[in-house]
Structure 1
């Protein structure tokens, strides 16, 4: 463990560059013992503790207190017989994918390979194959966590069901998770990629209507697996991005308003299933193909360079197409800033009950709006858009509050929030791990 009052740039840097990080103490943890020492020191000094692995999920400024950096704790080990992986707190999804692939296995990772696997899973973990297998949190076997009393505990559903439930969905408010044991799925290849359309040639609202109509057929799509039921596993999303005219961008994106549908599917008849999408309009780019799972990050091709961004999310119980079309209009090329819109189709395995605190499983779609504008300008664009969606919004997603940590409402339903508050008072009565963003901390 290194305690650095000089605040080295290496430990304070992260993917999100839009917020100031000025803790009083920085602990570069190399092991679980280091985390134990850091938490005990913070408790003795009555200093709040925050955690950073890759810095993707930074929701706002960090001022004072103790920052525990887990980036050096990045070991991943796979048990191919049990189909599990042990993943330390600093490991990125790309490492887990690469470790599992030689065994014909895959984790339930998200679209960006550079995101920290543990922190993403604690927030639920909406993955590339989410409709087939559910949330990443649904597949956690055990968690090693340092709680506010300075104890390193191994938590399972059997050993501590309440704490297990709370950590998987709200883990950042209950301690420092140093390692997870997660279940892997038997996926070696998939059919996936994206279809892109020019938003100046194809009406964005019409494209979205066609996509939404196509998703309504998804529950009956898929081919029967050997000895099993038909797969409910076609996972997809719709995106709208007005790209700037910059030489660094690929020619087919430069200066265009790009509409795209992203698809991931483990069945054998992907081409037939996506055929209706090709009728949306002239195809600008087509990357749909059979691919090894190790190339699954190319489906979304998320940016891999640190930058500033601000945004939020809304889980929708219903999908009002007229309202969604108006949101596209307000966030399109005329918005005054580059706004990335992504709409994920939910349902399938995401709607199944699980022994964790991941909420809003009844949601039909997840809308994410993100912009690289400064915070005030971003709110001026995004807040009215989310207000339009409010009548059909169930709540917000913890993993996709991109800097919007100044609002605590909406992350959990009332019953879940009340239970989390009770467990918070039991495991962290002094709020050593403040998590005001989630609305259950005192």
Structure 2
């Protein structure tokens, strides 16, 4: 490991350059489909390292990027400075205040584990390996989203290094515009590098959750989707759910009940805090859809909530996009399922999230399209250009009811950032960007302009 002394700060930066031992390993993230080749990697261990790295880059007019776990990279990049924050992974729980302070590189699994002894839970997503800070800056659509809202709605404070190299402690009271912009626009816009978040926790110890899986070749995915959409009109706000369709390859490493199957499932999470305690009664209509391939619905400790979705925990190449919908056009979505099923020519994963509930409540942040009723996410594996040939016509089917896209689920969209936000939000984000990063130092991100 080399060290580089910044000319404006005597802090010694631990750095890697192309060809150095450990350079490629440092760049390896969860997303393996995009290549990052920065001229300099700063392996940050503290907020001071981040400050020094940003000032070093600003002095030399070098672009700056940041990587924690490498799940949601906008696309490939070359040159400039990349700050990796994986080593900044401290978690501090304040059980009396029901808050947690999270450093930039911490993953959700560690936060859940740290909060559990106090009967508290964060508003984490479905995968414990995802970086908590970047997830939250993009909004954060979690397991209990309809009951509690977006993770961004529960942020108390942020520590951030902006494009001028200044460390700032940001709250809604101290810097309302910057606070607003970072929460919803921070990961996409590139205003600065957030080194720590203070988030609110919720009093949840257990929940009713799991999935009902059907064989998509026996019970058509469109049949399940239509029944699911009708069911969502009857459920309380405290129940969060999603639909998924996944054609699994025939691989020995997979469980026998998944190997080579086209699995269509409905995933559910419900705390019962809304007074509807009987989870089995709430999901009874789903069990009537057809023969069930697997049923994992049960009461569980919150620490086991990651088993509801059982997201893959190994790095791989993927490309994806999303659409926030005013309503679910079931016919259009059924055609999308037909085009992305086992005969699509590439493995495609379709997920439909039920929105509404607390997600529709206004909040002092830039998370857009709160009026949306559903979010459709489509992931494809393999080549980026081949994936686009599947994604574009698929999402075109939903265009009449599409409000925009969700930044946390726009994997590799690059310049296609115009519909990540509505026009008024884009205009306000662009103004904050020009104030705190006038030199566009953080340009390895989505380009959001008025």
Judge same fold: TM > 0.5, yes or no.
yes
1:106 match: 121
Shift of 1:148: 1.0
Shift of 1:180: 0.2
Shift of 1:404: 2.2
- State the secondary structure of the residue aligned to 1:433: coil
2:333 match: 324
Superposition map of 1:152-171 within 5 A: 152-171=167-186
Q: What is the distance in 2 between the residues matched to 1:33 and 1:437? A: 26
2:323 match: 314
2:68 match: 53
Shift of 1:435: 5.6
What is the TM-score with the length of structure 2 in the denominator?
0.94
Superposition map of 1:11-410 within 5 A: 11-172=26-187, 173-218=190-235, 221=236, 232-267=237-272, 268-410=277-419
CA RMSD of aligned residues (A): 1.0
- State the secondary structure of the residue aligned to 1:181: strand
2:17 matched to 1:2?
no
Q: What is the distance in 1 between the residues matched to 2:125 and 2:343? A: 30
| CA displacement, residues 152-184 of structure 1 (integer Å, 9 cap, x when unaligned) | 110000000000000001113110000000000
What is the TM-score with the length of structure 1 in the denominator?
0.96
Q: What is the distance in 2 between the residues matched to 1:405 and 1:397? A: 13
Contact map agreement 2:65 2:445 (CA 8 A) in 1: no
1:127–1:438 CA distance, 2 compared to 1 (3 A): farther
Q: What is the distance in 2 between the residues matched to 1:404 and 1:414? A: 18
Contact map agreement 1:29 1:69 (CA 8 A) in 2: yes
- State the secondary structure of the residue aligned to 1:280: coil
Q: How many residues align?
A: 429
Q: What is the distance in 2 between the residues matched to 1:182 and 1:240? A: 33
Shift of 1:438: 4.6
Q: Give 5+ residue unaligned stretches, structure 1.
A: 222-231
Q: What is the distance in 1 between the residues matched to 2:23 and 2:106? A: 20
Deviates more, 1:430-439 or 1:306-315: 430-439
Contact map agreement 1:398 1:438 (CA 8 A) in 2: no
Q: What is the distance in 2 between the residues matched to 1:9 and 1:406? A: 26
Q: Give 5+ residue unaligned stretches, structure 2.
A: 1-12
| CA displacement, residues 359-393 of structure 1 (integer Å, 9 cap, x when unaligned) | 01000100000011311211111110011111111
Shift of 1:333: 1.0
Contact map agreement 2:32 2:315 (CA 8 A) in 1: yes
Which runs of structure 1 show a deviation greater than 6 angstroms over 4 or more consecutive aligned residues?
none
Q: What is the distance in 1 between the residues matched to 2:434 and 2:306? A: 40
